[in-house]
């Protein structure tokens, strides 16, 4: 198995590890390099008297290093895998320390399988029902408290809300977490950012705060009327509140087979977790898909196709209406053919699609849009925009907009981004048949030519 450099860098627990790993990806720094199947190893000089021993299994991926770093994978493991990605390491017989690590992994895999075979105890259905009801009661109580809080906030007015400290919002978010409604808590915790963004007398942040509160109120009301919704809509509401989707539920979902082009990666920090989003578009179905993986600081995320690649296979969509969040099923990644952005439309059609999504789930914060034949330029108010003969989107302020403008060079391009009702945050652009992606963890004004 081989991983691309982009896939390896996505395994890094943070931006500093990505950079440090790239610094270690020089073959001259390594000694004793070797490969046995999917396992690669090598030794590299560190701060100690003895070189660090690093080994990685690309099929896991998994790694181990004798350095004292608490991050996983460490910079040496990232560097070793990057060395192999640049030029495959030659096959060799594994030294004793590598062989011992391989045997240990095989032994742990067998033990895990044995435990799984013996873990077929009868399901305690009464216990499960009791736990489900306990959670429902907690969520119901949290929704009641949220209703009172929102009502009080509206009586006092948005001008008062904009003067509240972060602690005011955090207290309500904490109560929602205690009520097992983490999705609602995330929305409340995001509101101080809207207030803090207020530039003096500018009215847009206040409008954004009002819209966020309205969406929160609509979601809370929908949560109290689940029995009136169809199953997919009800499932979408529960997911927005924070109910998890079980593995059994996902296993029963049908897969949508297509040639999925990977448009972009995005990485955000959510409640002490690292959330990586992979955005894909189906070439035949025109479907849009969002695959999200979560990891704790220092832990690896599973490898995924890089931006600009195609994933040939099936995606299983989570319950919800409109469908968007998905999970990878069987398939393989490979090079993508040059061409236009799949499913791209005019500005007017994209706005109609956004309106249709809001009609089905009015609490949506951001919606993916794919646009064709746009031209990027300056707006009358001094901002940047992207438009065609049917309309125009304001582009969100970002360090990546100038390089997008430079690559477009005034010509027509296809653009992919997230629209929040105010501005479009671009994540990728197709110009002259090539995909240029905004890097997932790099705030510098650069783009990655992915294909």
Angstrom distance (rounded) from CA 232 to CA 236 = 6
Helix (H, G, I), strand (E, B) or coil at 36: strand
Confidence at residue 112, expressed as pLDDT on a 0 to 100 scale = 54
DSSP class per residue in 239-270: HHHTPPPPHHHHHTSPEEEEEEEEEEEEEEEE
How is the chain split into domains, by residue range? 5-117, 125-241, 253-335, 347-449
Give the list of residues 6+ apart from residue 132 with CB closer than 8 angstroms, or none: none
pLDDT per position as a tens digit, 229-264: 999 999 999 999 999 998 888 989 999 999 999 999
Model-level pTM?
A: 0.80
Cβ proximity of 173 and 203 under 8 Å: no
CA angle, 185 then 243 then 426, to 5°: 65
Number of other CB atoms surrounding residue 50 within 10 Å:
9
Helix axis angle, 166-178 to 182-196, nearest 10°: 170
DSSP class per residue in 130-143: HHHHHHHHHHHHHH
Alpha-helical segments (H) within 64-124: 75-86, 96-117
Please list the ranges in the chain whose pLDDT falls under 70. 1-2, 108-123, 197-205, 271, 297-299, 451
Confidence at residue 105, expressed as pLDDT on a 0 to 100 scale = 80
Cα–Cα distances (Å) from 437 to 94, 237, 406, in that order, read: 39, 31, 14
Angstrom distance (rounded) from CA 351 to CA 98 = 56
Confidence at residue 201, expressed as pLDDT on a 0 to 100 scale = 36
pLDDT per position as a tens digit, 101-129: 888 887 766 655 555 555 555 667 788 78
């Amino acid at each position: 198995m081989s991983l691309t450099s982009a896939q390896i860098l996505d395994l890094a627990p943070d931006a500093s590890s990505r950079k440090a790993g790239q610094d270690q990806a020089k073959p001259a720094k390594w000694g004793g390099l070797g490969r046995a199947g999917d396992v690669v190893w090598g030794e590299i000089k560190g701060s100690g008297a003895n070189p660090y021993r690093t080994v990685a299994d690309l099929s896991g991926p998994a790694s181990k290093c004798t350095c004292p770093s608490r991050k996983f994978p460490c910079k040496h493991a990232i560097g070793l895998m990057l060395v192999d990605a640049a030029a495959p390491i030659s096959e060799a017989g594994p030294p004793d320390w590598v062989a011992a690590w391989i045997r240990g992994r095989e032994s742990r895999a067998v033990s895990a399988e044995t435990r799984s075979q013996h873990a077929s105890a009868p399901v305690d259905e009464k216990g499960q029902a009791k736990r489900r009801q306990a959670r429902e009661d907690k969520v119901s109580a949290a929704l009641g408290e949220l209703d009172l809080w929102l009502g009080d906030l509206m009586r006092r007015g948005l001008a008062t809300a904009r003067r509240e400290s972060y602690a005011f919002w955090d207290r309500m978010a904490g109560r929602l977490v205690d009520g097992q409604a983490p999705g609602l808590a995330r929305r409340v915790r995001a509101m101080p950012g809207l207030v803090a963004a207020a530039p003096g007398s500018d009215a847009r942040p206040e409008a954004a705060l009002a819209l966020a509160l309205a969406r929160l109120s609509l979601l809370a009301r929908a949560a109290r009327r689940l029995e009136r919704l169809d199953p997919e809509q009800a499932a979408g509401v529960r997911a927005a509140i924070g109910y998890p989707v079980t593995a059994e539920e996902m296993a029963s979902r049908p897969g949508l087979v297509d040639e999925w082009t990977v448009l972009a990666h995005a990485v955000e920090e959510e409640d002490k977790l690292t959330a990586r989003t992979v955005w894909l578009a189906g070439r035949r179905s025109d479907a849009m898909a969002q695959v999200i993986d979560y990891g704790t600081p220092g832990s690896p995320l599973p490898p995924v196709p890089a931006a600009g690649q195609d994933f040939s296979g099936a995606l299983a969509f989570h319950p919800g209406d409109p469908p968007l969040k998905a999970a990878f099923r069987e398939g393989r990644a490979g090079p993508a053919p040059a061409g236009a952005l799949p499913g791209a439309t005019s500005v007017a059609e994209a706005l109609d699609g956004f309106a249709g999504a809001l009609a089905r789930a009015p609490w949506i914060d951001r919606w993916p849009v794919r646009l064709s034949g746009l031209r990027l330029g300056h707006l009358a108010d001094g901002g940047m925009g992207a438009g065609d003969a049917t309309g125009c989107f304001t582009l969100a302020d970002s360090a990546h907009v100038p390089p997008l403008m430079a690559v477009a060079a005034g010509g027509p391009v296809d653009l992919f981004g997230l629209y929040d009702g105010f501005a479009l945050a671009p994540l990728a652009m197709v110009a002259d048949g090539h995909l240029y992606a905004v890097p997932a963890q790099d705030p510098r004004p650069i783009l990655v030519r992915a294909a």
